[in-house]
Amino acid sequence: MDTFLWVIVPYVCLTTFVVGHFWRYRYDKFGWTTRSSQLYEDRLLRLGSPLFHFGILAVFLGHVMGLGVPKSWTEAVGISEGLYHFMAVSVGAIAGVGTVVGMTILIYRRRTVGPVFSATTNMDKAMYAVLATVIVLGLANTIVANVFGHYDYREGVSVWFRGIFRFSLHPDLMAEAPLGFQLHGLSAMLLFALWPFTRLMHVFSAPLGYLTRPYIVYRSRDEQLGTHRPRRGWDRVG
């Protein structure tokens, strides 16, 4: 069972993540969109969207640090274990709370604004449910592990996660992790599998081309330009 949960399931979900994006781009380019609902309502959107997006960006960067950077590396540059956990609790908690609040506003908006709710698909609902589970479990694990618990996820979950990409598998480390971390890992893998079939794929469609595109020149239709006055539709010809 450990091999199935912590080796087979992650590879299946990550493969679905990669192949699903390729398929979506190859066969559903017109569906590669967030289906923006700003025209329907923008007051709640202006409040919830920045909270969620900036919060989730900070959460992502925190995961890059916690899962992708080995403990020995941070210690080598002078970041002590105490300082690291202080940063994880303070910054992580603020980012997590901001993300939860923003997501709550967006879900409330999607549920209570009629046109927005009508534009919500079943896949959107599933995505929101899984995303909320991942975020809430991650926030709870950050607080419990660093404040009330003694589990060092950098020597357990992080090693397991990096091993997936290096093909150096350690399912025993996840099997020994607290239940909260196990549920967080499984729900995150499920989110990766759903990702390419939801509006989340817009993460890979940042409009970077806007930074280098040429200016658009608008020309007025001044009647004084040119040698002939434009003919009106009811004027007789000849």
Tens of pLDDT along the chain (238 residues)?
Answer: 888 999 999 999 999 999 999 998 888 877 777 777 777 778 888 899 899 999 999 999 888 888 888 888 888 888 887 788 788 788 888 898 999 999 999 999 988 988 888 888 888 889 999 999 999 998 888 877 767 777 888 888 999 999 999 898 899 999 999 999 999 999 999 999 999 988 888 787 765 555 566 656 556 555 555 555 656 655 665 5
* pLDDT at site 161: 92
Using the CB atoms, write b or e for 137-153: b if 16+ within 10 Å: bbbebbbebbeeeebeb
| CA–CA separation, 110 and 48 (whole Å) | 11
Residue with tokens 């409330």: 108
Q: How many residues does the chain have?
A: 238
* pLDDT at site 237: 57
| 157 close to 173: Cβ distance less than 8 angstroms | yes
**Residue 119: DSSP 8-state:** T
Beta carbons within 10 angstroms of residue 86's beta carbon:
12
* pLDDT at site 218: 57
* pLDDT at site 99: 93
| CA–CA separation, 225 and 116 (whole Å) | 47
Which of 65, 149, 133, 75 is CA-nearest to residue 99?
133
* pLDDT at site 83: 83
| 9 close to 189: Cβ distance less than 8 angstroms | yes
* pLDDT at site 221: 59
* pLDDT at site 162: 93
Amino acid at 212: T
In whole angstroms, what separates CA 164 from the centre of its chain?
Answer: 21
